[in-house]
Amino acid sequence: MARKILIDCDPGIDDAVALCMALFDPRLDIMAITATAGTVDSDQATNNVTALIETLDPPRYPRVGKALAPSSEAPVDGNPALHGADGLGGLNLRGSNRQHLPDGDRVMADVFRRHKNEVTLLCLGPLTNLARLARRDPAVLPLIDKVIISGGAVQTSGNASVAAEFNMFFDPAAAKDIFASATTKSMVPLDVTEEFSFGVELLERLPSRDTRVGHLLHRILQFAFRAAHHHLGREMIPLYAPTALLSVLEPELFQWEPMAVDVETKGELTRGMTVADLRMRPQWTSNMEVATEINEADAEQSLVRGLRFAGQQT
Protein backbone atom coordinates (compact mmCIF):
# COMPACT_ATOMS: atom_id res chain seq x y z
CA MET A 1 0.00 0.00 0.00
CA ALA A 2 1.29 3.45 -0.90
CA ARG A 3 2.33 5.67 1.97
CA LYS A 4 0.13 8.71 2.49
CA ILE A 5 2.20 11.89 2.54
CA LEU A 6 1.71 15.65 2.64
CA ILE A 7 4.61 17.72 1.30
CA ASP A 8 5.18 21.25 2.64
CA CYS A 9 7.73 23.11 0.53
CA ASP A 10 9.21 26.44 -0.62
CA PRO A 11 10.13 25.48 -4.17
CA GLY A 12 13.50 26.31 -5.01
CA ILE A 13 15.48 24.04 -7.20
CA ASP A 14 16.07 21.16 -4.81
CA ASP A 15 12.38 21.09 -3.81
CA ALA A 16 11.46 20.97 -7.51
CA VAL A 17 13.74 17.95 -7.96
CA ALA A 18 12.07 16.27 -4.99
CA LEU A 19 8.62 16.94 -6.47
CA CYS A 20 9.73 15.38 -9.76
CA MET A 21 10.50 12.21 -7.84
CA ALA A 22 7.54 12.21 -5.48
CA LEU A 23 4.75 12.95 -7.95
CA PHE A 24 5.51 9.80 -9.94
CA ASP A 25 6.63 7.39 -7.20
CA PRO A 26 4.11 4.55 -6.79
CA ARG A 27 5.20 4.12 -3.17
CA LEU A 28 3.64 7.49 -2.29
CA ASP A 29 0.05 8.68 -2.13
CA ILE A 30 0.44 12.47 -2.08
CA MET A 31 -2.57 13.85 -0.24
CA ALA A 32 -1.58 17.50 -0.70
CA ILE A 33 1.29 19.86 -1.38
CA THR A 34 1.37 23.06 0.64
CA ALA A 35 3.51 26.07 -0.17
CA THR A 36 5.49 28.14 2.31
CA ALA A 37 7.73 31.17 2.00
CA GLY A 38 11.46 30.60 2.25
CA THR A 39 13.63 30.24 -0.82
CA VAL A 40 11.04 32.50 -2.49
CA ASP A 41 8.27 34.70 -1.11
CA SER A 42 4.81 33.37 -0.37
CA ASP A 43 3.21 34.32 -3.70
CA GLN A 44 6.09 32.87 -5.70
CA ALA A 45 6.10 29.69 -3.61
CA THR A 46 2.40 29.15 -4.30
CA ASN A 47 2.94 29.86 -7.98
CA ASN A 48 5.85 27.43 -8.15
CA VAL A 49 3.89 24.60 -6.56
CA THR A 50 0.96 24.98 -8.94
CA ALA A 51 3.21 25.56 -11.97
CA LEU A 52 5.36 22.51 -11.25
CA ILE A 53 2.34 20.25 -10.92
CA GLU A 54 0.86 21.57 -14.16
CA THR A 55 4.18 21.35 -16.02
CA LEU A 56 4.92 17.81 -14.87
CA ASP A 57 1.29 16.68 -15.30
CA PRO A 58 1.41 13.64 -12.97
CA PRO A 59 -1.25 10.91 -13.14
CA ARG A 60 -2.96 12.34 -10.06
CA TYR A 61 -3.05 16.01 -9.09
CA PRO A 62 -2.74 16.54 -5.33
CA ARG A 63 -4.56 19.25 -3.42
CA VAL A 64 -2.61 22.50 -3.06
CA GLY A 65 -2.50 24.90 -0.13
CA LYS A 66 -1.21 28.43 -0.57
CA ALA A 67 1.58 30.07 1.40
CA LEU A 68 0.82 32.96 3.72
CA ALA A 69 3.09 35.90 4.40
CA PRO A 70 5.84 34.96 6.88
CA SER A 71 6.65 36.83 10.06
CA SER A 72 7.99 40.36 9.73
CA GLU A 73 11.34 39.13 11.05
CA ALA A 74 11.85 36.69 8.18
CA PRO A 75 14.66 37.39 5.69
CA VAL A 76 13.40 39.16 2.61
CA ASP A 77 15.72 37.93 -0.14
CA GLY A 78 15.55 34.13 0.03
CA ASN A 79 18.47 32.85 -2.02
CA PRO A 80 18.17 34.28 -5.57
CA ALA A 81 21.85 33.83 -6.41
CA LEU A 82 21.61 30.05 -6.11
CA HIS A 83 18.00 29.51 -7.19
CA GLY A 84 17.19 32.44 -9.46
CA ALA A 85 14.74 35.23 -8.71
CA ASP A 86 11.81 32.88 -9.32
CA GLY A 87 13.37 30.00 -7.36
CA LEU A 88 13.49 27.81 -10.46
CA GLY A 89 16.57 29.05 -12.25
CA GLY A 90 14.75 31.75 -14.19
CA LEU A 91 12.23 29.45 -15.89
CA ASN A 92 9.42 31.82 -14.88
CA LEU A 93 6.76 29.13 -14.95
CA ARG A 94 3.26 30.46 -14.34
CA GLY A 95 0.71 28.42 -12.45
CA SER A 96 -3.03 28.86 -12.83
CA ASN A 97 -5.93 28.86 -10.39
CA ARG A 98 -4.00 30.35 -7.48
CA GLN A 99 -6.49 33.00 -6.41
CA HIS A 100 -8.91 30.83 -4.46
CA LEU A 101 -6.60 28.22 -2.98
CA PRO A 102 -7.08 27.50 0.74
CA ASP A 103 -4.35 28.38 3.22
CA GLY A 104 -1.68 25.73 3.65
CA ASP A 105 -2.26 25.20 7.37
CA ARG A 106 -5.99 24.65 6.76
CA VAL A 107 -5.27 22.05 4.10
CA MET A 108 -2.96 20.33 6.58
CA ALA A 109 -5.66 20.29 9.26
CA ASP A 110 -8.24 18.81 6.90
CA VAL A 111 -5.92 16.08 5.61
CA PHE A 112 -4.75 15.03 9.07
CA ARG A 113 -8.31 14.92 10.43
CA ARG A 114 -9.60 12.89 7.49
CA HIS A 115 -6.71 10.40 7.71
CA LYS A 116 -5.92 10.17 11.41
CA ASN A 117 -2.42 8.83 12.16
CA GLU A 118 -1.94 7.76 8.54
CA VAL A 119 -0.16 10.70 6.93
CA THR A 120 3.54 11.53 7.01
CA LEU A 121 4.32 15.24 6.80
CA LEU A 122 7.50 16.00 4.86
CA CYS A 123 8.65 19.56 5.59
CA LEU A 124 11.14 20.70 2.96
CA GLY A 125 11.10 24.41 3.87
CA PRO A 126 10.66 26.58 6.96
CA LEU A 127 8.19 25.19 9.49
CA THR A 128 5.85 28.20 9.29
CA ASN A 129 2.71 26.36 8.16
CA LEU A 130 2.99 23.62 10.75
CA ALA A 131 3.62 26.14 13.53
CA ARG A 132 0.55 28.11 12.44
CA LEU A 133 -1.48 24.92 12.56
CA ALA A 134 -0.12 24.16 16.03
CA ARG A 135 -1.21 27.57 17.31
CA ARG A 136 -4.62 27.53 15.62
CA ASP A 137 -5.62 23.90 16.14
CA PRO A 138 -3.18 22.07 18.45
CA ALA A 139 -5.45 19.03 18.71
CA VAL A 140 -4.49 18.13 15.14
CA LEU A 141 -0.80 17.56 15.86
CA PRO A 142 -1.21 14.13 17.52
CA LEU A 143 -3.08 13.01 14.39
CA ILE A 144 0.08 13.29 12.25
CA ASP A 145 1.78 9.94 11.80
CA LYS A 146 5.28 11.45 11.58
CA VAL A 147 6.98 14.74 10.74
CA ILE A 148 10.15 14.59 8.63
CA ILE A 149 12.12 17.85 8.77
CA SER A 150 14.69 18.83 6.17
CA GLY A 151 16.98 21.27 7.93
CA GLY A 152 19.13 22.06 10.91
CA ALA A 153 22.83 21.65 11.47
CA VAL A 154 23.90 19.60 14.48
CA GLN A 155 27.68 19.28 14.36
CA THR A 156 28.48 21.35 11.30
CA SER A 157 28.28 25.01 10.32
CA GLY A 158 25.19 26.56 8.81
CA ASN A 159 24.47 27.65 5.27
CA ALA A 160 22.39 30.77 6.01
CA SER A 161 24.83 31.98 8.66
CA VAL A 162 27.86 30.57 10.38
CA ALA A 163 25.54 28.91 12.90
CA ALA A 164 22.21 28.29 11.17
CA GLU A 165 20.76 26.24 8.36
CA PHE A 166 18.42 28.22 6.09
CA ASN A 167 15.05 26.70 7.03
CA MET A 168 15.72 27.22 10.73
CA PHE A 169 17.17 30.70 10.16
CA PHE A 170 14.14 31.82 8.15
CA ASP A 171 11.59 31.10 10.89
CA PRO A 172 13.33 30.03 14.10
CA ALA A 173 10.26 30.62 16.27
CA ALA A 174 8.25 28.17 14.17
CA ALA A 175 11.02 25.58 14.38
CA LYS A 176 11.30 26.00 18.14
CA ASP A 177 7.55 25.48 18.56
CA ILE A 178 7.53 22.34 16.43
CA PHE A 179 10.62 20.87 18.07
CA ALA A 180 8.81 21.17 21.41
CA SER A 181 5.49 19.87 20.08
CA ALA A 182 3.74 16.56 20.69
CA THR A 183 4.70 15.08 17.33
CA THR A 184 6.87 12.17 16.29
CA LYS A 185 9.76 13.80 14.46
CA SER A 186 12.82 12.99 12.40
CA MET A 187 15.33 15.55 11.12
CA VAL A 188 17.65 15.28 8.14
CA PRO A 189 20.28 17.98 8.80
CA LEU A 190 23.11 19.56 6.85
CA ASP A 191 25.49 17.09 8.51
CA VAL A 192 24.09 14.51 6.08
CA THR A 193 22.75 16.54 3.16
CA GLU A 194 25.91 18.61 2.60
CA GLU A 195 28.01 15.45 2.48
CA PHE A 196 25.70 13.78 -0.04
CA SER A 197 26.52 15.97 -3.04
CA PHE A 198 26.50 15.61 -6.82
CA GLY A 199 28.83 16.72 -9.59
CA VAL A 200 27.87 17.92 -13.05
CA GLU A 201 27.99 14.33 -14.34
CA LEU A 202 24.55 13.97 -12.74
CA LEU A 203 23.19 15.72 -15.84
CA GLU A 204 24.21 12.74 -17.97
CA ARG A 205 22.12 10.42 -15.79
CA LEU A 206 18.89 12.40 -15.90
CA PRO A 207 15.84 11.43 -17.95
CA SER A 208 15.79 12.47 -21.59
CA ARG A 209 15.15 16.13 -22.32
CA ASP A 210 12.28 14.92 -24.50
CA THR A 211 10.29 14.05 -21.37
CA ARG A 212 8.53 16.64 -19.21
CA VAL A 213 10.53 15.64 -16.15
CA GLY A 214 13.83 15.51 -18.02
CA HIS A 215 13.30 18.89 -19.69
CA LEU A 216 12.65 20.56 -16.34
CA LEU A 217 15.48 18.81 -14.51
CA HIS A 218 18.11 19.64 -17.12
CA ARG A 219 17.21 23.32 -17.09
CA ILE A 220 17.05 23.87 -13.34
CA LEU A 221 20.07 21.71 -12.48
CA GLN A 222 22.26 23.32 -15.14
CA PHE A 223 21.44 26.64 -13.48
CA ALA A 224 22.23 25.17 -10.05
CA PHE A 225 25.67 23.92 -11.11
CA ARG A 226 26.56 27.23 -12.77
CA ALA A 227 25.39 29.21 -9.74
CA ALA A 228 27.31 27.04 -7.28
CA HIS A 229 30.49 27.44 -9.34
CA HIS A 230 30.09 31.20 -9.80
CA HIS A 231 28.92 32.21 -6.33
CA LEU A 232 30.42 29.54 -4.07
CA GLY A 233 33.38 28.20 -6.03
CA ARG A 234 31.87 24.72 -5.67
CA GLU A 235 31.70 22.02 -8.32
CA MET A 236 29.37 19.82 -6.27
CA ILE A 237 25.82 20.62 -5.20
CA PRO A 238 23.78 19.09 -2.39
CA LEU A 239 20.16 18.17 -3.03
CA TYR A 240 18.63 18.78 0.37
CA ALA A 241 14.98 18.08 -0.41
CA PRO A 242 15.47 14.88 -2.45
CA THR A 243 17.68 13.55 0.34
CA ALA A 244 14.92 14.20 2.87
CA LEU A 245 12.44 12.51 0.54
CA LEU A 246 14.71 9.45 0.43
CA SER A 247 14.46 9.28 4.22
CA VAL A 248 10.72 8.75 3.80
CA LEU A 249 11.02 6.23 0.98
CA GLU A 250 14.04 4.29 2.24
CA PRO A 251 14.86 5.18 5.86
CA GLU A 252 17.21 2.20 6.02
CA LEU A 253 19.69 4.19 3.89
CA PHE A 254 20.31 6.39 6.93
CA GLN A 255 21.69 5.94 10.41
CA TRP A 256 19.49 7.55 13.04
CA GLU A 257 20.15 8.66 16.60
CA PRO A 258 17.67 9.90 19.20
CA MET A 259 18.56 13.46 20.22
CA ALA A 260 17.26 16.39 22.20
CA VAL A 261 17.30 19.39 19.88
CA ASP A 262 16.20 23.00 20.36
CA VAL A 263 16.41 26.15 18.23
CA GLU A 264 17.92 29.50 19.20
CA THR A 265 15.53 32.36 18.42
CA LYS A 266 17.21 35.41 19.95
CA GLY A 267 20.95 35.13 19.43
CA GLU A 268 22.67 38.03 17.70
CA LEU A 269 25.05 35.60 16.00
CA THR A 270 23.12 32.36 16.44
CA ARG A 271 19.55 33.02 15.25
CA GLY A 272 18.16 29.74 13.94
CA MET A 273 20.98 27.61 15.32
CA THR A 274 19.91 24.05 16.11
CA VAL A 275 21.33 23.12 19.49
CA ALA A 276 21.54 19.43 20.40
CA ASP A 277 22.36 18.11 23.85
CA LEU A 278 25.40 16.01 22.98
CA ARG A 279 26.93 15.93 26.45
CA MET A 280 28.24 12.68 27.86
CA ARG A 281 25.24 12.74 30.19
CA PRO A 282 22.50 14.63 28.37
CA GLN A 283 20.17 16.63 30.58
CA TRP A 284 17.47 17.30 27.99
CA THR A 285 14.85 14.74 26.97
CA SER A 286 15.16 13.34 23.46
CA ASN A 287 12.50 14.83 21.17
CA MET A 288 13.41 13.45 17.73
CA GLU A 289 15.49 11.10 15.64
CA VAL A 290 18.30 12.75 13.71
CA ALA A 291 19.99 11.34 10.62
CA THR A 292 23.72 11.13 11.27
CA GLU A 293 24.96 9.17 8.26
CA ILE A 294 23.76 8.10 4.82
CA ASN A 295 24.78 5.22 2.59
CA GLU A 296 25.89 7.51 -0.22
CA ALA A 297 26.36 4.89 -2.93
CA ASP A 298 22.94 3.29 -2.46
CA ALA A 299 21.24 6.65 -1.94
CA GLU A 300 22.71 8.00 -5.17
CA GLN A 301 21.47 4.99 -7.10
CA SER A 302 18.03 5.33 -5.54
CA LEU A 303 17.77 9.03 -6.31
CA VAL A 304 18.82 8.64 -9.95
CA ARG A 305 16.55 5.64 -10.36
CA GLY A 306 13.63 7.66 -8.99
CA LEU A 307 14.25 10.53 -11.38
CA ARG A 308 14.63 8.24 -14.38
CA PHE A 309 11.43 6.40 -13.47
CA ALA A 310 9.62 9.73 -13.29
CA GLY A 311 10.96 10.59 -16.73
CA GLN A 312 9.65 7.32 -18.13
CA GLN A 313 6.15 8.29 -17.00
CA THR A 314 6.22 11.55 -18.98
Q: Is the model's pLDDT at 72 over the cut of 90?
A: no
At 70, is the pLDDT very low, low, confident or very high (cuts 50, 70, 90)?
Answer: confident
What pLDDT score was predicted for residue 96? 85
What pLDDT score was predicted for residue 74? 75
For residues 264-279, average pLDDT = 96
Distance of CA 121 to the CA centre of its chain: 10
CA dihedral defined by 157, 159, 161, 167, rounded to 10 degrees? -110
Half-sphere exposure of 252 (CA within 13 A, CB side): 2
For residues 276-298, average pLDDT = 98
Distance of CA 41 to the CA centre of its chain: 15
What pLDDT score was predicted for residue 202? 98
Give me the CATH topology for the region 3-312.
Inosine-uridine Nucleoside N-ribohydrolase; Chain A (3.90.245)
- Taking only Cα atoms into account, the Rg of the chain, rounded to an integer number of angstroms, comes to 18
For residues 91-99, average pLDDT = 87
For residues 173 and 132, give the distance between their C-alpha atoms in angstroms, rounded to a whole number.
Answer: 11
What pLDDT score was predicted for residue 76? 61
What pLDDT score was predicted for residue 73? 73
For residues 29 and 23, give the distance between their C-alpha atoms in angstroms, rounded to a whole number.
Answer: 9
Query: What digits encode the pLDDT tens for the residues 222-257?
Result: 999 999 999 999 999 999 999 999 999 999 999 999
What pLDDT score was predicted for residue 17? 99
For residues 206-234, average pLDDT = 97
What pLDDT score was predicted for residue 97? 76
Bin 297: left if φ > 0, else alpha if -120 < ψ < 50, else beta: alpha
Residue type, 154: V
Across the chain, mean pLDDT equals: 96
What pLDDT score was predicted for residue 69? 85
Half-sphere exposure of 180 (CA within 13 A, CB side): 13
Query: What digits encode the pLDDT tens for the residues 98-150?
Result: 778 999 999 999 999 999 999 999 999 999 999 999 999 999 999 999 999 99
Are 306 and 25 in contact by the 8 Å Cβ rule? The answer is yes
282 to 153, 232, 244, 261, 273: CA distances (angstroms): 18, 37, 27, 11, 18
Q: How many CB atoms lie within 10 A of CB 26?
A: 9
What pLDDT score was predicted for residue 75? 74
At 79, is the pLDDT very low, low, confident or very high (cuts 50, 70, 90)?
Answer: confident
What pLDDT score was predicted for residue 71? 75
At 95, is the pLDDT very low, low, confident or very high (cuts 50, 70, 90)?
Answer: very high
SS3 at position 186: strand
For residues 10-29, average pLDDT = 99
